[in-house]
């Protein structure tokens, strides 16, 4: 891991790193916030929240805009922010649109050429990156996962497909039923091909009925979100949860949109949700 930058923040440290990813076959950058306990003279290993960002984002959006570090420092919780796709792999069309290719990896494993050579973001965030960080940094190996929009979709499927790997899961305005919305259908057809049966394993709403672990879902959604009607479908996720008796706390917030103003308004609730599941004593 090559350290690119570091900033002291609320007694902890925000760091940006670069490393060579084997599963993505390219260099990747990511960010980590380590709370004070993890950088003390005798560092104490801490649990980590993995945050998956949305379309067009990098690791920097959440760290600079969400205001999560203060509460994470109080709780003794690390935050890990990967990028949202491979970068600079020179695939045809990778930079042509905001919702496919660069910045839009959708946290799945592509099977269609040429994307299958690099676009294995699911394997990256579930396995490769945590294994690297738990080896190199003072992390306990206890994990939670959250995200926004495309990253909310990613957080949900990572938790649903990996029972026992995460202690808790939450999402802000997730793409909850991607097989049935324009963003998801474009991405899945491009990365996975035209057989829609293969898409189902990457759709949280369709994974809920057969989930082998039923972690409570905390989902926040703004009612003034421009993407709510056509892209996000929280009601489909809630209906699936009701039928499967899978607990979901879907909170609709009047007047809030899809921006980081929305995330910053409720991020402490999510950090507290994860802290409780991770056994952190200062959780509210």
CATH of the domain at 150: 3.40.50.1820
| Residue 64 falls inside a structural domain | yes
Q: Which domain holds residue 142?
A: 2-278
Q: In the prediction, which pLDDT does 281 show?
A: 65
DSSP 232: I
Query: Does residue 152 lie within any of the structural domains?
Result: yes
Asked if the structure places residue 137 within a domain, the reply is: yes
Rounded Cα–Cα distance for residues 230 and 59 (Å): 26
Buried b or exposed e, range 240-270, using 16+ CB within 10 angstroms? bbeeeebebebeebeebbbbbebbebbbbeb
Strand partners, 52: 147
Q: Say how many C-beta atoms besides its own lie within 10 A of residue 224's C-beta.
A: 13
Phi (first) and psi of residue 227, to 5 degrees? -100, 0
Nearest to 167 by CA among 58, 252, 36, 77: 77
Quick check: 53 and 67 in contact, CB under 8 A?
A: no
Residue 4 CB neighbour total at 10 angstroms: 12
Q: Is residue 224 part of a domain?
A: yes
The pLDDT tens digits along the chain (284 residues) read 999 999 999 999 999 999 999 999 999 999 999 999 999 888 899 999 999 999 999 999 999 999 999 999 999 999 999 999 999 999 999 999 999 999 999 999 999 999 999 999 999 999 999 999 999 999 999 999 999 999 999 999 999 999 999 999 999 999 999 999 999 999 999 999 999 999 999 999 999 999 999 999 999 999 999 999 999 999 999 999 999 999 999 999 999 999 999 999 999 999 999 999 999 966 44
Give the pLDDT score at 75: 97
Do the Cβ atoms of 47 and 139 come closer than 8 Å?
yes
| C-alpha–C-alpha distance, residues 150 and 98, integer Å | 12
Please check whether residue 250 is in contact with residue 234, taking contact to mean a CB–CB distance below 8 angstroms.
yes
Segment holding 110, helix H or strand E: none
**Is residue 52 a contact partner of residue 82, using CB atoms and an 8 Å limit?**
yes
Domain total of the chain: 1
**Residue 283 counted as domain residue:** no
Which two three-digit tokens encode residue 75? Answer: 């709780």
Give catalytic status of residue 225 as yes or no.
yes
Token digits of residue 180: 């049935």
Residue 34 lies inside a defined structural domain of this protein: yes
Q: State how far the alpha carbon of 213 is from the alpha carbons of 75, 92, 159, in Å.
A: 26, 39, 9
Q: Are 177 and 204 in contact (CB under 8 A)?
A: yes
Catalytic residue (one of 146, 225, 270, 273): 225
CA distance 26 to 282: 39
Looking at residue 202, its pLDDT comes to: 98
Active-site residue flag, 149: yes
Tell me, yes or no, whether 284 lies in a domain: no
How far is Cα 169 from Cα 144, in angstroms, rounded to an integer?
A: 6
pLDDT for the residue numbered 282: 61
Choice among 85, 149, 168, 283 that is catalytic: 149
Catalytic pick among 258, 270, 273, 274: 258
User: Two tokens at 213?
Assistant: 């672990």
CA 127 – CA 117 distance, rounded (Å): 17
Would residue 238 count as lying in a domain?
yes
Say if CB 84 and CB 55 are below 8 A apart.
Answer: yes
Could you give the CA distance from residue 163 to residue 171 in angstroms, rounded to a whole number? 17
Active site residue 85: no
């Amino acid at each position: 891991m090559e350290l690119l930058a570091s900033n002291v923040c609320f007694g902890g440290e925000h760091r940006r790193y670069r490393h060579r990813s084997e599963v993505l076959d390219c260099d990747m950058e990511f960010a980590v916030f380590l709370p004070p306990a993890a950088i003390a003279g005798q560092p104490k290993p801490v649990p980590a929240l993995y945050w998956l960002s949305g379309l067009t984002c990098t690791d920097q959006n959440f760290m600079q805009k969400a205001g999560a570090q203060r509460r994470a420092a109080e709780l003794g919780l690390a935050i890990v922010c990967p990028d949202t796709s491979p970068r600079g792999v020179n695939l045809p069309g990778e930079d042509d649109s905001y919702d496919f290719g660069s910045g839009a990896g959708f946290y799945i494993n592509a099977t269609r050429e040429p994307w299958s050579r690099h676009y294995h973001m699911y394997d990256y965030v579930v396995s490769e990156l945590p294994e690297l960080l738990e080896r190199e940094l003072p992390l306990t190996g206890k994990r939670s996962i959250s995200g926004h929009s495309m990253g909310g979709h990613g957080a949900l499927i990572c938790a649903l497909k990996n029972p026992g790997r995460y202690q808790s899961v939450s999402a802000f305005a997730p793409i909850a039923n991607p097989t049935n919305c324009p963003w998801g259908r474009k991405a899945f057809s491009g990365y996975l091909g035209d057989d829609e049966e293969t898409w189902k394993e990457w759709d949280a709403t369709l994974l809920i009925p057969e989930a082998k672990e039923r972690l409570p879902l905390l989902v926040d959604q703004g009612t003034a979100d421009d993407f709510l009607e056509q892209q996000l479908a929280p009601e489909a996720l809630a209906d699936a949860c009701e039928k499967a008796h899978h607990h979901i706390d879907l909170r609709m917030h009047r007047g809030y949109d899809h921006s980081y103003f929305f995330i910053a308004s409720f991020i402490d609730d999510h950090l507290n949700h994860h802290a409780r599941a991770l056994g952190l004593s200062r959780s509210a």
